[in-house]
Structure 1
Amino acid sequence: MADLVDFSQPTLYLSAALIIFNPTFWNIAARQEYHHKSITKLAGGNALYGCYGLAVTIFVLGLIRDAVYERALRQQPTHPALLSFVSQGLAVGLVASGNVLVLSSMWALGITGTYLGDYFGILMDDMVTGFPFNVTGSPMYYGSAMSFLGTALWFGRPAGVLLTALVFVAYQVALQYEDPFTAEIYAKREREQKKKAK
């Protein structure tokens, strides 16, 4: 195993920590906002500005995570099987497809839809069911995981494959918290609208 992954490299652990931290942070921050309006208060009572502030924070944290991931990969050993023509082609396909899923979902949802606006009370009129949500219910998470794996293959680093598995697990855990909570936010709105209609 030591030939595949260099566990002595601190960047490996820093990358793993950021992979776990990011979805944990945004879920905790969003819950605090929903229950206590913490971010809205910091934004002077403006929920939209609060959502934009969280969006910038999440985006910057993502850039930092990605930069540390790339640095971690560069300090890890390569494996010949991951440097083949097929592996490199797969890498390009995964990164391209992953970015299509991520960017098209951001386009479909907009800034507030992408960056947890529903926790701020900024709800979408209707559920987005077109592409890429007709491919997967969580295109940003699966697209991101695909990009991580593609990058690992491009660099030919088994450690990247290991870190990608951690990305996938972290996102699956996040979805266990996010999906039911978000569904309840919209169900609550629907119940309130029905009450008003009576």
Structure 2
Amino acid sequence: MEQYIDFSDKNLLYVAGVTILAPIIWNVLARIEYHTRLLTKLACGNPQLGCYMLAVYIFSFSLFRDYLFDRALATQPVVLKEQYGTELMYVGYTLQGIAALLVLGAYYQLGITGTYLGDYFGILMEERITSFPFNITDNPMYNGSTLWFIGHSLVKCSPAGLLLSLEIFIMYKIALMFEEPFTAMIYAKRDEERKSGKSSSSPTTPSKRKSKKLD
């Protein structure tokens, strides 16, 4: 097994740990914001600025994870490069191209607040997005991110990278188990308030209901 994956490599362990922590931390921060408005208070009462603060943290932490991922692959065994290196490279770059379309398309549709848990700040969208890339997958951010890591692993001919990509996929799925029901609850509560004639004090974007996902 060591000829495929070196489990004693500290770089591998570091990125595996960070991969677990990433969605846990941002979901905890978002729940704290929803229940206490802590980030909004730190942003001088501006929920949009508070969401931007969380976005900067999530984006920066994701870049740090990506750096650790690349560093881990550099110290892991390379497999099948001589036999199928060119083919794997083409497949990998194709997957990364698809990943970029999904992620950038989702960013375009959602904007910053729609992507980075804006609904926990009370920044809600009016309608569910059904155009590309949400007509292909419900979670283009998470699925696109997973595809990018798989593609990068194939380009590097790294079994360890594929294993880490599987871990990333699993952690995203676990995150969705918490995010999707909670998001549904937020919108259901908003709809109930509207039916009962209560005016929500939460800011609302002028269009498109959120169907976010992070990178």
Q: Tell me the TM-score normalised to structure 2 length.
A: 0.89
CA displacement 1:23-60 (0-9 Å, x = unmatched):
11111111110111111111121111100000001000
Map 1:69-88 → 2, pairs under 5 A: 69-80=69-80, 83-88=84-89
What is the distance in 1 between the residues matched to 2:129 and 2:38? Answer: 28
Partner of 1:90: 91
What is the distance in 2 between the residues matched to 1:111 and 1:41? Answer: 19
Q: 15-24 or 166-175, which moves further after superposition?
A: 15-24
Identity %: 47
In the alignment, does 2:64 pair up with 1:57? no
Partner of 2:213: none
Partner of 2:126: 125
Deviation of 1:87 after TM superposition, in Å, equals: 1.5
**Count of residue correspondences:** 197
Runs of 4+, deviation exceeding 4 Å: none
What is the distance in 1 between the residues matched to 2:84 and 2:192? Answer: 55
Give secondary structure in 2 for the equivalent of 1:196: coil
Q: Which amino acid aligns with 1:94?
A: L
What is the distance in 2 between the residues matched to 1:177 and 1:86? Answer: 38
Q: Which has the higher helix share?
A: 1
Partner of 1:11: 11
Give secondary structure in 2 for the equivalent of 1:3: coil
What is the distance in 1 between the residues matched to 2:24 and 2:133? Answer: 24
The answer on whether the counterparts of 1:76 and 1:157 sit within 8 Å (CA) in structure 2 is yes
What is the distance in 1 between the residues matched to 2:177 and 2:85? Answer: 37
Partner of 2:110: 109
Q: Which amino acid aligns with 1:21?
A: L
Q: Which amino acid aligns with 2:12?
A: L
Q: 1-10 or 113-122, which moves further after superposition?
A: 1-10
The answer on whether the counterparts of 2:4 and 2:79 sit within 8 Å (CA) in structure 1 is yes
Structure 2: give runs of 5+ residues left out of the alignment: 199-215
Deviation of 1:117 after TM superposition, in Å, equals: 0.5
Partner of 1:68: 68
The answer on whether the counterparts of 2:85 and 2:155 sit within 8 Å (CA) in structure 1 is no
Q: Tell me the TM-score normalised to structure 1 length.
A: 0.96
What is the distance in 2 between the residues matched to 1:150 and 1:53? Answer: 30
